[in-house]
Structures are given as C-alpha cells and as structure tokens.
Chain A
Amino acid sequence: MTTVLAADGLTKSFDDLVAVNGVSFEIAEGETFGLLGPNGAGKTTSISMVAGLLEPDSGSVHVAGTPIRTNSTAGRADIGLVPQEVAIYPDLTATENLKFFGRLYEMNGAELDTRVAEVLDVIGLGDRKDDLVKEFSGGMQRRLNIGIGLLHRPRLLILDEPTVGVDPQSRNAILESVEELSAQGIAVLYTTHYMEEAERLCDRVAIIDEGVIQAEGTRRELVSLVGQKDRISVTSSGELGDVAKIAAGLPGVTDASASDQGIEVLTDDAATLLPALMSCFASEGATITAVQIFEPNLEAVFLHLTGKALRD
C-alpha cells in the first residue's frame, strides 16, 4: 500500500521540556494508526508537527511525498485536521462553517455546495444545516468538527482525541465515521487515551509516553511483546476435570484448569482454539452454559511498558 504519511525522528522541546523525542512512524493508505498515551505524553505535539502547525527541532514529515513545513503551504491540502477543541464558529451556521473552511481550500461554487451537502449527510447534520452552531449539542458540534476536517477530501485525516467529552451515542457515531473513512482509503492518524477506541479503530498502534514511542505494532504484536495470553472461560457442568486435561493437550494451549463452575484456558489465540475446545466438552458430555473470551488489552500493555495506567 502507498505510504501517505512518513514522520521521521520528530523532536520538539519547549524550553527545558522535551515534549517529543525522536518519534517516527508511517501510515499507509486506508490504514488507521493510533497514538495511544496519557495526557501530556506528546500526542498533540506530535500531530501538531505532522499538520505543519509546529516546526520540529529536528526530524521531518512527508505527506504523500511532500515535506510539511510551517513556513510553506505545500502538502497542506492533503491533510485534514480535527483539533482536540471544537474548532468551529458558534455564531455561524453549520453550512457557513463548512463553506468558510472549504473556501480556504480553494473549493468554490457548485463543487463546494455539493461537497458541503455530502459532508452534512455523513455527519448527520443535514436537517440542522442552517442553524447556528451555538444551538447544537456537544456531540453535534463534535461531528461538525470532524466534518470540517473531511470537507476537502484529504488523503490524511488527523483526529486529536475527537471523542473527549462526548456522550456515548455521539461517540459511537464518530467511531463509525472513522471506520467508514478508513474503508474509503483515507489514512487516519488517531490520538486517544481511550484504550477501547484504539483497539476498535486502529490497524496499528504506537504507545507513546513522555514524548517517546515505547512500542508500535498491531494489537496482537503489542500483546505478544509483553507475553500476554488470551483467556477463555467456559461455564459448564459435568466431568470438568477430564475436559481440562484434554484441553491442556490442544495446540496453542499453555494452561487449562477446572473449577466447580467450569474451566479456564490460556492460549495464544482464542479464536483459533475455540472450535477444538468446544469439541472437548461435547466428547465428554459436558453441558456448556456460557463462554467468555478475555483478550489481553492495550491497557495491560501500556501498564507493562510504562509502569502506569493510561488515565494517570
């Protein structure tokens, strides 16, 4: 796949504070890349350099092959930025906000009108397009905030913690929108300190803390990096001791133990093991009442890598 964003060795200091130190990553077309870290980890500083808002002390950013600099407008049209704050004008309508920013990207006339209507449809604000934004709920304002970033069809969409302070319904709508955009081929750089969002959206995740990327990869790669296993918990009745013995011999199983309520199995890949495990219960005539799979999460990885919780 084509590389849309290449950030190489980004470093930025503010006086004595090194906010970002040697951050490098790449994002391909249609890929969603997450920067996961607590507040103050260096996420916003990193994306500010990627978006050309901050000049790095060292390192470089290329979007679609074009170097991004604060003193140049080259490559900016390929970037869509959704800042952490709701960066819109409350005393303009949704349509006026979209049109104003669209014109800054040289969109005009019928092309702009059509695209504004499309974006309003995508963010679900078509029926409120002529209302002043200050009359919108927080979730609606967040959706418009994203819509402005999408308007000019960027190749790279940067979302800086877009769900902070959003109600669950709007949050889900935002996450669905991001999934849809990724499916359309847009490269997405997504910063968050919500582990669930990173797990749901991101093809690859970089864990950042104190300005340094601690680890990078797919969720499974990160989990394996710290030796975490999937855990399958089966609630059952019957001769569970025999079931546990058989399960312990299945490929990929590292441990299986029985209790009064059922058995627990540790494995490298729960999804692959599950059919074989179910066969064990069937062959021993045990009745299954519930199955739960616990995959090791990024929270645990983060804790392992940094010694602190994501929300610290």
Chain B
Amino acid sequence: MSAATRIAGKDLKLRLRDRSAFILGVVTPLALSYIFYLVFGNAFVSESLDVEIGLVDLDNTEISQSLGEVLGAIEDQGIIGVTTFDDAGSAEAGVEDGEIGAFILLGAGLGDAALAGSPFTIEVVGDIDSPTTTQIADSIASEFGSGIGRAQLSVSTAIGLGEGPPPAEVVNWGSEAAQRPGAFTFVDVSAETRQLDASTFFAAGMAVFFLFFTVQFGVIGLLEEEQNGTLSRLLAAPIGRTSVVAGKGIISFALGIISMTVLIVATHFLMEARWGPPLGVALLVVTGVLSACAIMGLIASFAKTPEGAGNLGAIVAVVLGMLGGTFFPIGQGNAFLSRLTLLTPHAWFMRGLSDISGGADWTAALPAAAALLLFSVVFGSVAWVLLQRRLTR
C-alpha cells in the first residue's frame, strides 16, 4: 500500500469517527432534496411531464383532421398524450376531472373558411392549474393556424396572378402547410431547457451542491495537518511530498464518491429518482467529483488556515451551486443566464443527467462528462502545483 493511500485511509477513519462528513455529505442533502421535492415538486416540474391535451374537431374536414395527425405524431414520440372528444362539453368535463390539462376546439366551418381565405377561429381551453399544458396546446394551435394562414396567402397570390389552382389542390396545399411543423421545436428540446423530473432534479441538485462541501473535508485536511503540527511529521517521514497531497486528493475523491453513491441509491428507493443508465451516471459522478476536488483543492492552496479555506469554500460552493441551477433551473428562458451556468460544474452535471434521463444511452453523458473533466484538469493542475509549492519552503 502506498503512503498516499495510507494517509487517505487514516483520514477516512478520522472522518467516519467525526461524522461531520456523513452529516454534510449524506444526511443533509438527502433531507433537503426530499423537503424540496415535497414543497416544490409539483410547482414546476412534474406537471410538464404529464401533458394531456384534448382535441374536439367539430369541422371534420381534411384540413381540421390534419391537426389530429400532427398531435398523433407528437404523441407517438411520448411527449404528450392526446384524447379526442366529440364535443366541447365532454372536453370541458375532461378538464374539470383532470383527465386532460387543456383542449383544442376546431369549430365547424373552419375548413371552408380556410379554403375561402376567410378568418377562422381555433379555441384553446385550459385548466388554470395546468399552465404548461395549456401553453403547449396554445402553441400547437397557433402554429396550426399559422400554417393555414400561409396556405391562404399562397392561394391568394396564385389566384391574383390568374392561375388559380383547382379546389382539390388547394385542399392539399392547406393540409401540407398546416402539417408543416416549423414551430414545433419544443419536441426536440435543447439541452439547456431539458428538465429532469422533480425527484431526480432535487436529488441530483442537492447531491452535487453538497458534494463540494463533502470533498472539502479531504483537501482541508492538509491545512489541518499543517495547523496541528502533524504535517511536519509526515514531511519528515521517508515519503514523497506528492504522497501527502495525493493522499488528501484520494480522501476527497473517496468521500465524494461515497456521498454521491449513497445519495443516488437512497433517492432512487426513497424518492423514486430516475438517475438514468448506471454507466452514464457513474461517468458523470466520477468526473463531477473530480471537478469538485479540483476546485476545492485550488481554494485550499490559497487559504492560510482550515477555517479560511472552509469559509471561502462555502462561498464558492454556494455561488456555483446557485448559478449552476441546483436549487432551481435558473438558465431556462434566459440565454445569458443559460450560458453563464455553463461556467459551473454543477450545470454540466445536471445537464448530463438530463441528457441521459429521457431514455438515451450512457453515451449521451459524454459531452457533459468531457466538460467536467476539463474543469478537473484545469483547476486540478493549478491546485496540484500550488499545494506542492506550499509544502516545499
């Protein structure tokens, strides 16, 4: 066994006896994620995962039926659920019962109006408690209406030129234009706006947030050894100075891995968190822990005392955690914030989990893991050099 692993083993024993690492690394994030899940879970995450939209087609023409085909295509991708109703009354009852969150009403005469180039109306009725579903239904309806509008414009232009097409062709044009899914970009959501389910979001957010506090126990140990005088004993022993720094790195890494593993398993069983394919999760956890060790190691290399390192580390962990969207996805809906979050390992970790949470295989985690590895290499290299220099006076 190398000197570094012996030092790490000793530190692990001390940390287990101390219990503070267990409390900060496991108990606190587990409790907080569960509390957040209970309090905020339904507010902004779970509703969006249960989008049930109704369709009432009172027109029943080729044009109106094309909306049903569009909705069916989206339903096939697992993004929404679609229920067809015969009339507005039964659809409203469905909303009141919670069966659907919103419905789209295509009134009688819509097809004729579209062909005649006249104004037409598409109604969207939504549950006030299902704003996301209502917004999605509204978006689909608007896009469908725009498609018809584009077809009307084309037809009007052609007629104006004296080369009016036969009515059957106009019908086809209208259908094709209506089905052209130019604005249905929400189907292929970008990674920035992709979202985990509530339990996984809070479990992962709290886990990665407290990870930075947990790994700090290891690297701060170097400053504690310095303060307690045991560092001089270690440096006087026939072991390389790199072993001392490496030992602290190993214990930081081990504490981080233990903390994350326990939290992943615990939240899976207690909160039904869906972390995704194990290989992808493992990749993100390992690179995430490495990046946390690197950043906290850099802080330790600057600090003069363990207390100073603890305080500075806490500030950095909170700022990065908040910015990285571990409490709430601050990057959604704001391009600048969205880009800013990518300066944090937290955001990449959450992004990586999002990438693999929707049924993708583990390789979907590779971009985020690569980013986390980059954090590790850049910050870790600087920390390694500075900590070594600290030991050589």
Interface positions of A (Cβ within 8 A of B): 48, 51-55, 70-71, 73, 76-77, 79, 81, 83-89, 91-92, 96, 100-101, 103-106, 148
Contact, CB under 8 Å: A54 / B393: yes
Tell me which residues across on chain B come within 8 A of A103, comparing CB atoms. 1, 6
The B interface, classified by DSSP as helix, strand, loop or mixed, is helix
Contact, CB under 8 Å: A100 / B10: yes
Q: With A89-B10, A89-B230 known to touch, is A55 a contact of B392 (CB < 8 Å)?
A: yes
Chain B 225-242, CB within 8 Å of chain A: the 1/0 string?
A: 000111011111111110
Contact, CB under 8 Å: A76 / B233: no
Residues 200-237 of B contacting A (Cβ, < 8 Å): 228-230, 232-237
For the complex, give the distance between the alpha carbons of A87 and B228 in Å: 6
Contact, CB under 8 Å: A73 / B10: no
Q: With A76-B236, A83-B229 known to touch, is A89 a contact of B14 (CB < 8 Å)?
A: yes
- B254 within 8 Å of A by Cβ? no
For the complex, give the distance between the alpha carbons of A79 and B238 in Å: 9
- B17 within 8 Å of A by Cβ? yes
- B18 within 8 Å of A by Cβ? yes
Contact, CB under 8 Å: A104 / B238: yes
- Chain B contact patch, size range: 20 to 34
Q: With A83-B233, A100-B6 known to touch, is A106 a contact of B228 (CB < 8 Å)?
A: no
Chain B nearest CB: distance from A162 CB in Å? Answer: 12
The A interface, classified by DSSP as helix, strand, loop or mixed, is loop
Interface positions of B (Cβ within 8 A of A): 1, 3, 6, 10, 13-14, 17-18, 228-230, 232-241, 392-393
- 20 inter-chain pairs at a CB distance below 8 angstroms, sorted by A residue, are A51-B232, A52-B236, A53-B232, A53-B393, A55-B392, A55-B393, A70-B393, A73-B238, A77-B238, A81-B233, A84-B229, A85-B229, A87-B232, A87-B233, A91-B17, A101-B233, A103-B1, A104-B234, A106-B238, A148-B233
Contact, CB under 8 Å: A87 / B14: no
Tell me which residues across on chain B come within 8 A of A84, comparing CB atoms. 229
For the complex, give the distance between the alpha carbons of A143 and B344 in Å: 49
For the complex, give the distance between the alpha carbons of A100 and B1 in Å: 12
Chain A nearest CB: distance from B8 CB in Å? Answer: 12
Chain B nearest CB: distance from A148 CB in Å? Answer: 7
Closest B residue to A51 using CB positions: B236
Contact, CB under 8 Å: A92 / B10: yes
Chain A nearest CB: distance from B43 CB in Å? Answer: 44
For the complex, give the distance between the alpha carbons of A81 and B234 in Å: 10
Contact, CB under 8 Å: A105 / B228: no
Contact, CB under 8 Å: A101 / B237: yes
Closest B residue to A85 using CB positions: B229
Tell me which residues across on chain B come within 8 A of A70, comparing CB atoms. 241, 392-393
Chain B nearest CB: distance from A138 CB in Å? Answer: 14
For the complex, give the distance between the alpha carbons of A148 and B233 in Å: 9
Q: With A92-B13, A104-B3 known to touch, is A76 a contact of B229 (CB < 8 Å)?
A: no
Chain B nearest CB: distance from A51 CB in Å? Answer: 5
Tell me which residues across on chain A come within 8 A of B241, comparing CB atoms. 70-71
Tell me which residues across on chain A come within 8 A of B6, comparing CB atoms. 100, 103-104
Selected contact of B237 from candidates A48, A71, A105, CB within 8 Å: A105
Selected contact of B238 from candidates A55, A76, A89, CB within 8 Å: A76
